[in-house]
């Protein structure tokens, strides 16, 4: 798997992501500067990592979404290339038009940094083929703006087309407002693009891949990507 | 030429920051506050004196960057 991690000013999770990619795939990702206009030749997976690009000025992800590299990322996505957008990366992907909707301020206005439970809604995607639908995984979140919203029509479309991939649930996979900690519409934690090759999610699966730091529930997401690319 | 672009949340979009400000105003005892919505103001200097050109540039700026049209409206004023 040839991956490229896009580095924007103010991003701080790019090393976690690079480490996870190397740990699971054995291959070092390319680090691509936001001002570049091209991705390395043969890139299979583009990652928009977490952090605080441009200090969250204007709106989270708004300025990074207009960076020169984003045309290449959009072109990669348009021809079916895989894009994984995590946390600030998800905000950037929404602002860049790669995914619908927007991430608003958490409903209770607090920055939330802790582990949460995610239910995997389907396993027939490039990102989740190593999980089973209905599996509940434990992964960390760290964000102040993760409250996913979109207009009613868009939400209905995401649901009808099965593009909600992760939801915040209880440890046994039940929807419960107390576990939808940021107030996201329909407890949405992660969504797919129409072609299902772009995933945006607020939690950080890259932080749970190595038993040295605890649970490894995020590891299968990366294994899914590897097996998707091997099967292609 | 001076211009101002005002960006506000669309009706129906929940504004937790506005709600918090509203609560704070109420706790200060400021009478008659029914609700608060928070927005943004951009004061922009435009080169040249062509008002029509300035207006179309500002609209482009608002739609391409200053506002997120999914959740926000904008208003352009030439001062």
Contacting residues of A for B16, CB less than 8 Å apart = 104-109, 147
Check CB contact under 8 Å for A102 and B20.
Answer: no
ipTM, two decimals: 0.83
CA distance A26 to chain B (A): 39
Report how far residue A46's alpha carbon sits from residue A193's, in angstroms, rounded to the nearest whole number: 14
- Inter-chain contact B16–A62, Cβ cutoff 8 Å? no
Q: Is A42 left (phi over 0), alpha (psi -120 to 50) or beta?
A: left
Q: Chain A interface, mutation test: which of B68, B69, B74, most A Cβ atoms within 10 Å?
A: B68
| Residues ≥6 apart with Cβ < 8 Å to A17 | A5, A29, A47, A49, A50, A86, A206
A109 at the B interface (CB within 8 A)? yes
User: Average pLDDT of B24-35?
Assistant: 94
Residue A165: per-residue pLDDT: 98
Q: Is it the case that residue A85 has pLDDT exceeding 90?
A: yes
pLDDT given for residue A116 in this prediction: 97
Q: For A90-114, write each residue's pLDDT tens digit.
A: 999 999 999 999 999 999 889 999 9
- Inter-chain contact B16–A109, Cβ cutoff 8 Å? yes
Q: Is B28 on the interface with A (CB under 8 A)?
A: no
Q: Which of B18, B23, B78 is nearest to B53 (CA)?
A: B78
Active site residues of A: 87, 204, 206
Residues of chain B with C-beta less than 8 angstroms from the C-beta of A150: 70
**In Å, what is the CA distance from A128 to each residue of A40, A42, A100, A185?**
25, 23, 20, 22
Please determine, for residue A73, whether its predicted confidence score (pLDDT) is greater than 90: yes
For the stretch A130-174, pLDDT in tens is 999 999 999 999 999 999 999 999 999 999 999 999 999 999 999
**8 Å CB contact between A115 and A137:** no
Residue in chain A closest to B39 (alpha carbons) equals A58
Residue B16 is predicted with a pLDDT of 83
Q: What is the DSSP-derived secondary structure letter of residue A120?
A: E
Q: How far is A121 from chain B (nearest CA, A)?
A: 26
Contact status of A95 with chain B (Cβ, < 8 Å): yes
Distance CA A185, CA A207 (A): 25
At residue B29, the pLDDT reads 94
CA dist A80 → A4, A126, A134 (Å): 15, 11, 26
């Amino acid at each position: 798997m040839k991956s490229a991690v896009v580095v924007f000013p103010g991003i701080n999770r790019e090393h976690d992501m690079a480490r996870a990619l190397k740990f699971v795939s054995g291959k070092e990702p390319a680090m691509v500067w936001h001002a570049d206009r091209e991705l390395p030749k043969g890139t299979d997976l583009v990652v928009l990592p977490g952090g605080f690009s441009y200090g969250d000025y204007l709106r989270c992800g708004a300025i990074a979404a207009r960076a020169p590299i984003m045309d290449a990322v959009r072109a990669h996505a348009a021809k079916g290339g895989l894009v994984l957008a995590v946390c600030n990366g998800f905000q950037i992907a929404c602002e860049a038009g790669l995914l619908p909707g927007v991430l608003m301020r958490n409903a209770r206005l607090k920055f939330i940094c802790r582990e949460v439970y995610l239910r995997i809604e389907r396993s027939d995607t490039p990102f989740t083929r190593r999980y089973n639908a209905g599996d509940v995984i434990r992964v960390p979140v760290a964000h102040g703006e993760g409250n996913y919203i979109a207009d009613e029509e868009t939400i209905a479309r995401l649901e009808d087309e099965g593009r909600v991939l992760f939801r915040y649930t209880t440890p046994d996979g039940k929807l419960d407002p107390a576990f939808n900690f940021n107030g996201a519409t329909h407890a949405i934690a992660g969504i797919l693009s129409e072609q299902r090759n772009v995933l945006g999610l607020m939690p950080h699966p890259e932080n749970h891949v190595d038993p040295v730091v605890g649970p490894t529930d995020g590891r299968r997401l990366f294994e899914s990507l590897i097996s998707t690319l091997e099967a292609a | 030429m001076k211009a101002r672009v005002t960006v506000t949340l669309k009706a129906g979009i929940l504004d937790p920051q506005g709600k918090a400000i509203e609560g704070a105003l109420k706790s200060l005892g400021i009478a008659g506050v029914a609700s608060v919505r928070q927005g943004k103001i951009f004061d922009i200097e435009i080169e040249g004196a062509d008002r029509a050109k300035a207006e179309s540039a500002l609209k482009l700026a608002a739609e391409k960057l200053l506002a997120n049209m999914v959740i926000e409206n904008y208003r352009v004023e030439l001062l």
